[in-house]
Amino acid sequence: MFELIKDQIKNIKKVVFVTGAGISQESGIPTFRGKDGLWKNHDSMKLATIDAFYDNPKLVWEWYNERRKNIFAAQPNLGHKAIAELEKYVKVAVLTQNIDGLHQKAGSSEVLELHGSIIKIKCSVCNFNEEITSEISEILPLCKCGNILRPDVVWFGESLPQDVWQKAMIYASQCDLMVIVGTSLVVSPANTLPIYAKQNNALLIEINPDNTEMSPEMTLVIRNTGTISLPEFVSLFKNK
């Protein structure tokens, strides 16, 4: 599967993973696109916007409470675990579009959550921010300041946290190898990260059952899932 880069592995010291919904789908977490993109006849991509939240915060919170319950019950799969295991052999950073915390649960120590975290809740007005891992019983949770609380995630149309994005660009620009797993690379600006890596002459590996717009730019394309491909990928470093 990885024969093309086997000889180059011995020179790799810094590996960056860019991960998307596909890797967590294998842990039972639905994606926004395709057949998983509907919730009670609502388009998930339209619910994940600030406009939807202000138009109908109760509906958005019902959806996020269901998502939180699903995510808290999910366990890291072999793909997440392989990425964490790779830290034994080289420096690893994970730049994830996922909000589920499964990389941290698997044991990865350097994870940048580009799109925030469903575990965290913040006020829509003041600076309140807190991790809440229990079920939110209020139909419409309110902050102490009286305004509506919201999930601390980046919705479509919102900017990424600039401190996180700056660090992500640095990691991408300094890696020897970037592995892009389970992301369609259509969401900006996360889809520009492989460009930063390529400018550093890094190797680029795409692991995805489906073709993406950047597939022609890759050093190696693996048309398979993370759970199957990543354990084999890590085994290359064990034997180098």
Q: Which two tokens stand for residue 112?
A: 């940048």
Which are the contacts of 121, defined by CB distance < 8 A and separation ≥ 6? 129, 130, 131, 132, 136, 141, 149, 150, 151, 152
Cβ atoms 15, 90 nearer than 8 A: yes
The verdict on whether 115 is a catalytic residue reads yes
C-alpha distances (whole Å) from 39 to each of 32, 33, 34, 99, 187 are 10, 12, 12, 18, 21
- Report how far residue 168's alpha carbon sits from residue 17's, in angstroms, rounded to the nearest whole number: 11
Alpha-carbon gap, residue 59 to 55, rounded angstroms: 9
Answer yes or no: are the C-beta atoms of 172 and 95 closer than 8 Å: yes
Of the candidates 63, 45, 50, the one whose C-alpha atom is nearest the C-alpha of residue 122 is 50
Amino acid identity of residue 163, one-letter, is D
Which of 42, 80, 103, 115 is labelled catalytic? 115
Asked if 147 and 123 count as a contact pair (C-beta separation under 8 A), the reply is yes
Q: What residues are labeled active site?
A: 115
